[in-house]
Copies of this chain bind each other. A is one copy, B any other.
Amino acid sequence: MEINYPGGTRANHNNLKSKPTRFNTNYGDRGMGLESELNASNQYYLAHDIAVIHKKPTPVQIVRVNYPKRAAAVIKEAYFNKASTTDYNGVYRGHYIDFDAKETKNATAFPLSNFHQHQIEHMRKCIQQGGICFAIIKFVKTNDIFLFKATDLFQFWDAQKKGGRKSIPKLTIQELGYSINYQLQPLIPYLEAVDQLID
A84-103: CB near B (< 8 Å → 1, else 0) gives: 11000111111110100000
A75 and B78 within 8 A (CB): yes
Q: What's the number of copies of this chain in the assembled complex?
A: 2
- Interfacial residues of chain A within 77-120, with CB under 8 A of chain B in the complex: 77-81, 84-85, 89-96, 98
- Interfacial residues of chain A within 159-199, with CB under 8 A of chain B in the complex: none
B129 and A51 within 8 A (CB): yes
Supply 19 further A-B pairs (C-beta < 8 A) apart from A19-B64, A20-B64, A57-B57. A19-B65, A20-B63, A22-B67, A23-B64, A23-B65, A46-B125, A49-B128, A52-B126, A52-B131, A54-B84, A54-B85, A57-B81, A58-B62, A74-B79, A75-B79, A76-B77, A78-B78, A95-B96, A96-B96
29 contacts between A and B (CB under 8 A): A19-B65, A22-B65, A22-B67, A23-B64, A23-B65, A26-B70, A27-B73, A46-B125, A51-B129, A52-B125, A52-B126, A52-B131, A54-B84, A56-B56, A56-B57, A57-B60, A57-B81, A58-B62, A60-B62, A60-B78, A73-B79, A74-B79, A75-B79, A76-B76, A91-B129, A94-B96, A94-B130, A95-B130, A96-B96
